[in-house]
A and B are shown apart, each in its own frame.
Chain A
Amino acid sequence: MSALINALSTRELAEIDDEISHAPYRSAVAIDALKIVQAHRGWVSDESIKALATYLEMSAAELDSIATFYNLIYRRPVGDKVILFCDSVSCWIRGCAKLEQHIGDRLGIKRGETTADNRYTLLPVPCLGACDKAPVMMVGDDLHENLTADSIDAILADDSTSRGEHD
C-alpha cells in the first residue's frame, strides 16, 4: 500500500476532488481524472492507474479499460510534445502521406515513436476538425494548417528556438 500513498500529488488530488464535487459518484470522473494525471505527468503509468482506481473506488481493470480506449490518454511515456498528424480523408487527399514521411525523416522517427532526445512523439490522428485547411497537424497544443514540407521545417525550427528560450 505504501507505494500508492504518494502516487498522486496533492495538486492532482485537488483537481480531481474538484471534478468529483460536480459528479454523482466518484468513478464518474474517471476520464477527467486521467486527463488531469496526464496533464501533470505527460502520460498515465500503471502505478497512476492503480492509485487513481483506488481513489475513484473502481477496479484497476475498469479504469484501464477506459484509459486504453482513448487514443489521447497515453499509457506509455511520450516526448515533451506530441505531434498529432492527421491522416484522415481530407489530409490524405491533400498529400499528407508525403508530409508524414518528411516529418519522419526530419526527426528520425516513424509514427508511434519518440525522438532520441525525447522532444517529440509522432502519432497519427483520424481528424483534427480542420479539413478546410488540410493537411493539418498539432504540435503540443498548437494547430498548424495548410502544411507543406517547408512550413513543417519552419514549425519545427520555431518550436526548437522557443524551447531554447525557455530552457
Chain B
Amino acid sequence: MPTIYIDGQAHEVSEGDNLLQAALGLGLDLPYFCWHPAMGSIGACRQCAVLQYQDEDDTRGRIVMGCMTPVTEGARFSLAADRAQAFREDIIESLMLNHPHDCPVCAEGGECHLQDMTVMVGHRDREYQGRKNTHRNQHLGPLIHHEMNRCITCYRCTRYYRDYAGGTDLAAMASHDHVYFGRHEEGVLESEFAGNLVEVCPTGVFTDKSLVHDYTRKWDLQSAPSVCTACSVGCNIMPGERYGKLKRIHNRFNHDVNGYFLCDRGRFGGHFVNSEDRIPAVGKRDGDGRFSAVDADSAVSSIAALLRQGKTIGIGSPRSSVEANYLLRELVGAENYCTGMSAQEGALVQHALQQLEQSQALVPSIRAMESADAVLVLGEDVTNTAPRIALALRQSVRNKAYAMAADLRLEAWQDAAIRNLAQDQRSPLSVLSVAATRLDDVASHTAQLCPDDIARVGFAIAAELEGALPAVDLGAELAELAKTIADTLRSADIPLVVSGTGCGHSGILDASAAIARALTGPDRPAQLSFCLAECNSLGAALVADGAGMGLEEVLELAAQDGIDNLLILENDLFRRTSCSKADSLFQAAGNVVLLDTLTTPTCDNADWVLPTSSFAETEGTLISQEGRAQRHFPVFNSVAPIRENWRWLLDIGHCAEVATCKSMVHFDDVTTSCANTIKTLFGICAAAPAASSVPAADKVPRQTHRFSGRTAMRANISVHEPRQPTDEESPLSFTMEGHSAEHNGALLPYVWSPGWNSNQSLHKYQSAVGGALQGGTAGTRLIEPGDIDAAQESSGSTAPALNAGEYRLVPLYRIFGSEEMSVRAPAVAQLCRPAGLEMPASVAAELGVSNGDGVTLTATTGNVDLEVTINDSLAANCVGYSHGVSGTGGLVPGSATKLCRAENWQRAPELIGTDRGATTA
C-alpha cells in the first residue's frame, strides 16, 4: 500500500490504482468525464488534471492527468493548487463552448454529471460570445433519444458501445470541432446493451426515450431497490415512479451481478407495469361469460370456500416470487402443487439444479464469469436468453489482453494502451449453438450443430479432458473441434462452461456438467453456469422441493378425474402448452381462479380473476440462475383492489383456515415460514434485511430529500395532503426523511451525494472505487460447490431420430419477444416481430419456399402456420421457431416435425427499403 501526499496530507492508497481512483476513493472531489470505473482511463477529456511534484522541494509542480497517473510510493500531488484548479476550469469552459443552455428542458437535468462537474470546478460565467455548433439528431429507435448538440466529446459512448459492448453501428464521425457520435444513417441501435448509453453518457446526448416523453426529474422520483424479472440473471435495478406510473429503470450496482450495466430488455421491458392491459378489478365470470367486478373481500371468502370444498390444484409460476409460490403450495398442499412449467422444462430445471448442487464446480457470479480465461458456451444463445451474461463473456475474452499487459507491467486501467497492445488477440471463447449467435464475433471457435450433436461434442470434450475415448464416433471434423476446445479449457486457469435449458435438451446439461467435472482439480476451480428460462425458474423448482407436478401431469389428472378447482398464480398456460390442451384443461376444471397482473388468454378462461401487483409494487424473493436469492421491494403501492400476490394468497389462506397461514401476517413471516419449511431455501431470509430489523424511525426513504410537490401532485383531487402511506412489510418508507447511505446494500433505493447528483455518485457508496457497496453485496448465494461429484448417467442422445421428410425443431430466442412481460412494454413491443420459422436455404429449397412465404408445421399438438425466414447459419436439418412469441406455445423443442408449404398464406406487404429478410451468418 503506497503512501502518497495530496496537498501535503499523507494517504495510504491501493497499489496499482491511478490517482483519480485513489482520490475518489479517499472521498476527495476530483472532476472527470472520460474515465469510467468499468472502462478504465484514456486521458482524453483532460478534466482530472492535478499538479504532481518531483519531490518535497519542488514547489512548482507540473500538470498531469489524474486518471493516467499511477500512484507510487511517496508521490506528491496537489488537487487544490491554483494552477490545477484554473486548468480544470478552463477545460470545462472549453467543453461548454458548444453546449446549449437547455438544462431546464433536458432529460439529464438534475442528474447530469456535466452539471455536477461544472459546479464543482466553479465555472459560472460563460464568456464565449460566438455561435454554437448545432447538429442534426438521429432517430435511434424507440428506446433511446439522441440530442447531439449537448455532446462534450468525451468518447465514453463509443468506448462503451464498441469497445465494451461490441456494437458496430455507433461511431465517432468527423473531426475537431465537428465530431458527431451517431450511426452511419438513422435507425435502431443494434446492440442489445445500447440502453446503458443513457447512464454512460455524462450529459444528455443519449437519454431514455420513454422518460423523455413522460418526464420526471430524478429528485421527484420515488425509487426502491428492485430486481429485474426479464430473465434468470436477476440484475439489480432501481425503478423510479411518479404519479403511480413507472417512469424509468436505472441500473442498481451489484458488485457480483450486474455491476454497472443492464440489458435493454431489462431496462426498457419493465414498462409493462403501466400497461393498459393491467387487470383493474376483481372479476367473477357471470353466466353470460362476462366478468363483473366484485368486492375483493367477498371474492376472497368465496374462493376460500371453494378451496375447502374440493380438490384444488395449484399452478405456480417461474415468474412469481418464492413467497407467492410457497403460499400457493401451502394452500393446495405440496402434492397438488405444480411449478407451472411444462414437464419438459420442469424436468430440465430440476436436472440443472441437481447438477449445480452436486457439482464441485463453482456456480459463478457474473463478475466471476468476467474473470474466466477460457469459456465454452454449450448450446445456449446467451445474448437472447440471459443477455447480461453475454456482456460478461465479451469481457472475459479480454483476459488475454490483461495478461499481456501484466507482462509489460501495465495497469489494467490503461485502456487504450492495452487495446493497442492486444489488437485482436483474445482469450478462447468457444460457442456451440444451433445457429449463429451474437457472440460469434469474439469467439475463437464456433460451430452450428443440432442439439444432439452439441451434447455429443460436449461429451467428447469431457472425454478428451479425462484422457478417455469419446463414447460415440463424431467424425474427424467434430472430433478435432472437441480436441481443440478441450485444449483451450485445459490450459486455462479459470475455465468456465456456460449452458442452459435453452435447447430443451438434458444431454447438453449433462455434457456441460461432465466437462466441468473433468476440469475441476485440487488447485483449479472450474466454473459451471446454467441459463434458465425465467426470473424465478430456480425458485419455483426449489419450492417444489423435489416434488411438484409438471403441467402435463395436471393435464392428465384433469383428463382422468377432472379437477374441482384450479388456482393459477401469475401464469399464462397458453405459453406453456398448446391451445387445445389448455382449453381441455379449463373445460375439465370446475372453477378456475387466476391471479395475474396483465390480461392474458388464460384470463379469458378463468372464473375468478384477482389482480396482482407488478414486480414494482410488491416485495418478493427471486432465485437467479446463479442460485442467488435476491429481494425486490415495492417502488410504489398499487391501487386497490390490486393486491400483492402473496397478500391475496395469504388472505385466502386465512379465510380458508389453512394451518400454516395462521401464524403469518406480514411478508417476512411468509419468507421465514418458507425458509423453515424447505431446507434448500433456508438462506432466503438473508437475501435482504427484514422489516423488523430497522426501527420505524430509521427506515430507508424511497423519496429524495428534494422530493417536491407532494401536495400539488394530487391537487386535482384534494388540496389536503394525506398522510404518506406506511410500509409495514419492508425496511423502507414512503417518505423523504432519513438517510439511505448507511444501510445494507440490498436496501439502496437510489444514489446521491452532495455535489454528485448523477449516478456517478455511486463511488461514494462503494468500499473502494468500482468495488462492493459499503453495505455489502445484495443477495445471498444458496448453491455452493458440492463435495461429491458423481458422474451422472446420461443417454447421450435424447431426441427421437428423424424420419425422411422430418426436421428437427429447435427453439430460437429473441431478446425482444421471447420474454412474456417485457413485450407488453410499448417501446419494446415496437421492436418485436411476429413468430416465424427460420430454416437453412437447403430446407427452404426442399419445401419450395423463400423469405416471407408461409409453412405449415405439423406438431403433435396441432398444425401451426409460420412465416419463413432463411437463416443459413442453422445446423443441417434444423428449423428454428421463435420461442416464447405468441403462437408457438405448443411447439416442443427438439421434436421432429414435418413441414409443408402453407396453403392460403398471405405474404406480408413488402415495403421498399426495409431490412426484412435473411439473417445470414
Contact = CB atoms under 8 A, between A and B. Distances in A.
Describe A's contact surface by its main secondary structure.
Answer: helix
B306 interface: no
Nearest to A67: B173
A65 B172 contact: yes
Given A46-B185, A49-B184, A60 B169 contact: yes
A62 interface: yes
B278 interface: no
Interface in B130-186: 168-175, 180, 183-185
Contacts of A68: 173-175, 180
Given A46-B185, A49-B184, A60-B184, A69 B174 contact: yes
Given A46-B184, A49-B184, A64-B184, A59 B168 contact: yes
Nearest to B185: A46
Contacts of A69: 173-175
Interface in B634-691: none
A65 B185 contact: no
B170 A61 contact: yes
Given A46-B184, A46-B185, A60-B184, A65 B168 contact: no
A46 B171 CA distance: 15
Nearest to B424: A25
B184 A61 contact: yes
A138 B171 CA distance: 32
| Most chain A CB atoms below 10 A, which of B170, B171, B172 | B171
Contacts of A65: 171-173
Nearest to A3: B913
Contacts of A59: 168-169, 171, 184
Contacts of B185: 46, 60
Interface residues of B, number: 13
Interface in A40-76: 46, 49-50, 53, 58-65, 68-71
A70 to B, nearest CB: 8
Nearest to B158: A65
Contact of B168 (A50, A62, A70, A71): A62
A68 B169 CA distance: 15
B174 A61 contact: no
Given A59-B168, A61-B169, A50 B174 contact: no
A62 B168 CA distance: 7
| Most chain B CB atoms below 10 A, which of A65, A68, A70 | A65
Nearest to B173: A68
A64 B185 CA distance: 10
B175 A61 contact: no
Contacts of B172: 65
A55 to B, nearest CB: 15
B243 to A, nearest CB: 38
A63 B171 CA distance: 9
A52 to B, nearest CB: 11
Nearest to A69: B175
A53 to B, nearest CB: 8
A65 B185 CA distance: 12
Contacts of B170: 61
Contacts of A53: 184
A61 to B, nearest CB: 4
Interface in B412-434: none
Given A46-B184, A49-B184, A50-B184, A64 B173 contact: yes
Contacts of B184: 46, 49-50, 53, 59-61, 63-64
Contacts of A46: 184-185
A70 B172 CA distance: 13
| Most chain B CB atoms below 10 A, which of A49, A53, A61, A63 | A61
Interface string A68-104: 1111000000000000000000000000000000000
A43 to B, nearest CB: 16
A1 B184 CA distance: 17
Interface in B166-223: 168-175, 180, 183-185
Interface in B828-873: none
Contacts of A60: 169, 184-185
A47 to B, nearest CB: 10
Contacts of B917: 1
Contact of B171 (A1, A50, A64, A71): A64
Nearest to B920: A1
A1 B168 CA distance: 19
A58 B169 CA distance: 10
B375 to A, nearest CB: 24
Interface in B568-623: none
| Most chain A CB atoms below 10 A, which of B168, B183, B184, B917 | B184
Nearest to A49: B184
B141 to A, nearest CB: 15
A58 B171 CA distance: 12
A59 B162 CA distance: 11
Interface string B233-259: 000000000000000000000000000
Contacts of A1: 917
Interface string A108-148: 00000000000000000000000000000000000000000
Contacts of B171: 59, 61-62, 64-65
Nearest to B917: A1
Interface string A151-165: 000000000000000
Nearest to B182: A61
A68 B178 CA distance: 10
A62 B174 CA distance: 11
Nearest to B174: A68
B144 to A, nearest CB: 15
Contacts of A64: 171, 173, 184
A125 B727 CA distance: 68
Contacts of A63: 184
Contacts of A70: 175
A1 B185 CA distance: 17
Contacts of A62: 168, 171
A50 B187 CA distance: 14
Nearest to A63: B184
A69 B174 CA distance: 4
B181 to A, nearest CB: 10
A66 to B, nearest CB: 9
Nearest to A60: B184
Interface in A2-55: 46, 49-50, 53
Nearest to A66: B171
B182 to A, nearest CB: 8
Nearest to A46: B185
| Most chain A CB atoms below 10 A, which of B173, B180, B917 | B173
A76 B184 CA distance: 14
Contacts of A71: 175
A85 B531 CA distance: 62
Nearest to A65: B171
A72 B174 CA distance: 11
Given A46-B185, A61-B169, A62-B171, 18 more contacts: A46-B184, A50-B184, A53-B184, A59-B168, A59-B184, A60-B184, A60-B185, A61-B170, A62-B168, A64-B171, A64-B173, A65-B171, A65-B172, A68-B174, A68-B175, A69-B173, A70-B175, A71-B175
Nearest 10 CB-CB pairings of A with B: A59-B168, A65-B171, A60-B184, A61-B171, A68-B173, A68-B174, A64-B184, A61-B184, A61-B169, A69-B175
Interface of B: 168-175, 180, 183-185, 917
22 contacts: A1-B917, A49-B184, A50-B184, A53-B184, A58-B168, A59-B168, A59-B169, A59-B184, A60-B169, A60-B184, A61-B169, A61-B171, A61-B183, A61-B184, A62-B168, A64-B171, A64-B184, A65-B171, A68-B173, A68-B174, A69-B174, A69-B175
